[in-house]
Structure 1
Amino acid sequence: MFTQVNLAQMGCQNKHTFSTQSRLSRVKYLLNSYYSRRINYYIFIYLMANTIIDIEFRIFGNNRNFNLDEIVKEITYFKGTSYYINEFCMTGQYNCPKNNFSKIAMSMRSTCDEVFLNCTWNDNREFDCCKHFVLTETELGICYTLTMENESPDSDDYINMYSNRDTGPSNLLIKLSSPSQVFIHSVVDVPYYNTISTDILPAMMGIFKQYKFVIKDIENEDEVKFVGITQRRCRFPLENELVVSSKY
């Protein structure tokens, strides 16, 4: 039985401010289940405001209409609406970026080292966050992914994140340099725009939070696969033709 946890940074922040603050955002996950399962962790990153301004100066210059700043933010931090793009780009009023959107977004997002401060598994195993969290693209933007799919048993710093009745509950302690959000969903999902709000847990600066949950897996009857996709309104993994990641 599997579960999956995602972390998402909550907004644009000043990296210079965070570097001088002594308060740390710490999130601890205590995972408790009666079944063997794989635990996956994600973090969805927003970049700090200073970097955004620097990039916008390079793209549009000093004497620019500041509506262009909002256009770049809509490209980088999609939140379901694109007012400025529709108002000024689609009408041809501004000469907006027409390509290299990924490059623009990547140049404005925090690097892994700017996000993570410390990672510990089961209270006694500290590990290099950025060596194990792998960059993953989702419709919410760039994420950093920690999953057993990316762990190699032959590696010297292999982390066994399987938990079951014999091993007991597992926990992951992550110290972050900015406010974040935690996404909880099934192992076959990645963060997406319509994630139910109750599946998103906030992690604020200066606050230590501990979340505990028990996994109750649901297994479909064999006959479900014979029901049409349009009727059951969901897909099995082998029916998914979208190619977003080599793992999902």
Structure 2
Amino acid sequence: MRIKMKQRLKYYLEESNLHGLKYAADDRRAWFVRAFWCVTFIVSFGIMLLLFYKSWIQFEENAISFVTETTYLHWNTTFPAISVCPITGTEPEWDENEEFTDDEIDQQKQFIADLVFFTGNCYSCYDDCESCKTMNFTQKVLRYRKECKKIIIGCKWNKVDFDCCENFLPLETEYGVCYSFNSMHTNKNIKSTLDLTMNSNSGPGEIWFKNKEDIRVYFHAPEDVPFINSDPDQRKDVMLGETFNITISVIEINNDENVKNVPVYKRGCKFPWENEGLLVHKHYSYSACVVQCHAENHIFLCNCTHHLMPFYNKIEYCNREGLRCLTDNFETVNRLHAKGSGLNKPGLVCDCLPSCIEPEYKVVLDKKGSAMKSSENEVLINIIGLPTTRFKRIVLRSLLDLVVSVGGTAGLFIGASLLSIFEVFYLLRFGQPKGKKNKYY
């Protein structure tokens, strides 16, 4: 058996198409010639394996790159999403049917205000208020948080009036229900005829809206949501009697068509539809992921999350004891640290990747003024100009590139191809060593 295998191996070397093997196996050649071809093949094979390894490393670690595009004449740019969230600037307008207890009326009012505009802490939860223990949190929030038409009372897109509440749509956030314009997370109103695309024909866009409540305004990417750890430059508290004129610049990110085929761990970002494990919102974004991280850590630390948290508030939420727990852990659950930093400080390290399509917004002008009426406020947000540059994420090395690289390297150094693999099995199994009757398969 051993002799037969030796004969077959010699037969393979003599008949193989790999460079140099037939010379190394030829008994008629001088020993130093055979040795030369053996060494040459081994060295070539080693270099080939080294290049295989380098190609694999490049494929794994440097598959994606960024380039800057400047061919801006035919670009379509999307206006950012605008979210309006009511805040507790003044005392809520108390319902005349609200049943207050005479000796606990102040504690009840403060507790209801903390419930309705909960932002992570509830100091009134520490008060001695027996009637507060039996309150229905959801009922109070629905009663005292105002709907869109009682908050936003006038809107213009590029100086043309439009129906505010057909375009500022309800969006559940960890602040409660906000009203969002151009958000990916809201159900689009089919009645809306607004075209929010900006290009060389339409020019840069602007939105103006007037309100009769104290509000916090966010401008963000359409796939993002308002959240506690948002960039302070991208949110403004606008109180009654104030106006804000905000001018921003936009740099968008475009993606090569093949980027979506690259695994997430290589490209280092996620597309909105890649929402595995995300419960609080429908589409993935960095902010949605952080909100999910908040909810999971609320449950881990306090065995519940608060009554405004999307998705979870429909299942079960914290009672007063739970809200006290969240307040005690405020510094932990509402602070973020990057991986490897802040290890000795309270805060969360959330494993959240950025969005693959998230634009970069920068505030160019932020001007505060006084409104004509002290019972109203106004906000104007406009784009300074159409962008002339944008980033493009491209695939440097796809799987096809890896295959071509490996095939080219194998062909260059040892003359191998995909068929060489089948040749090994064919010659060793079906090949007929010399001296025996020829038989073909």
TM-score by shorter chain over 0.5 = yes
Root-mean-square deviation (CA, aligned residues, Å) is 3.3
Partner of 1:13: none
Q: Which residue of 1 aligns with 2:78?
A: 37
1:239 matched to 2:275? yes
**Per-residue CA shift, 1:88-113, capped at 9, x if unaligned?**
48xxx634345742221121112322
SS at match of 1:54: coil
Match of 1:217 among 221, 233, 252: 252
- Could you tell me whether the CA contact under 8 Å between 2:83 and 2:180 is conserved in 1? yes
What residue identity is the alignment partner of 2:151? V
Name the stretch that deviates more: 208-217 or 169-178. Answer: 208-217
In 1: Cα distance, 2:240 partner to 2:106 partner = 29
Written as runs of structure 1 = structure 2, the 5 A alignment for 1:51-130 is 51=93, 53-54=94-95, 58-64=98-104, 66-85=106-125, 87-88=126-127, 94-97=130-133, 100-123=136-159, 125-130=160-165
- Aligned residue in 1 for 2:175: 140
Larger radius of gyration: 2
Q: Quote the Cα distance in structure 2 between the aligned partners of 1:219 and 1:98.
A: 52
Identity of aligned residues (%): 22
For 1:148-169, what per-residue CA distance to the aligned partner results, in whole angstroms no more than 9, with x for missing partners?
Answer: 75445x63x5111121333210
TM-score, normalised via structure 1 length: 0.66
Pair 1:198-2:248 in alignment: no
Output the amino acid matched with 2:101. Answer: G
Higher strand fraction (1 or 2):
1
| 1:159-209 Cα shifts (integer Å, max 9, x gaps) | 111213332101111011133332122222111112222221243433443
The change in CA–CA distance for 1:242 and 1:165 in structure 2 (over 3 A counts) is: same
Structure 2 CA distance for partners of 1:121 and 1:137, relative to 1, 3 Å: same
Within 2, Cα distance between the matches of 1:213 and 1:171? 10
Structure number with the bigger relative contact order (C-alpha 8 A, sep ≥ 6) is: 1
Contact 2:91 2:113 in 1 (8 A): no
Distance 1:80 1:50, change over 3 A: closer
In structure 2, what is the Cα distance between the partners aligned to 1:70 and 1:205? Answer: 21
| Paired residue secondary structure (1:173) | strand
Does the aligned pair in 2 maintain the 1:136–1:245 contact within 8 Å? no
Structure 1 residues 199 and 40, CA gap change in structure 2 (3 angstroms): closer
User: What residue identity is the alignment partner of 1:76?
Assistant: V
In structure 2, distance between residues paired with 1:182 and 1:113: 16
Contact 2:81–2:220, Cα closer than 8 Å, also in 1:
no
Q: Does residue 175 of the first structure (1) align with residue 216 of the second (2)? A: no
Within a 5 Å distance, the mapping from 1:161-172 to structure 2 comes to: 161-172=196-207
Query: Residue type matched to 2:147 in 1?
Result: T
Q: CA deviation at 1:73?
A: 1.8
Q: What's the offset of the Cα at 1:121? A: 0.9
Assess, with a 3 A threshold, how the Cα gap between structure 1 residues 136 and 129 changes in structure 2: closer, same or farther: same
The one-letter code matched in structure 2 to 1:188 is E
Distance in 2 between the 1:68 and 1:148 partners? 35
Give unpaired runs (5+ residues) of structure 2: 1-74, 285-441
Give the stretch that moved more between structures: 96-105 or 130-139. Answer: 96-105
Going from structure 1 to structure 2, the CA distance change for 1:84 and 1:236 (only over 3 Å counts) comes to farther
- 1:102 is paired with a residue whose SS is helix
What is the CA distance between 1:215 and its match in structure 2? 1.0
Q: Which amino acid aligns with 2:81?
A: N
> 1:151, 1:158 within 8 Å by CA — same for their partners in 2?
no
Report the structure, 1 or 2, having the larger helix content.
2
- 2:265 aligns with 226
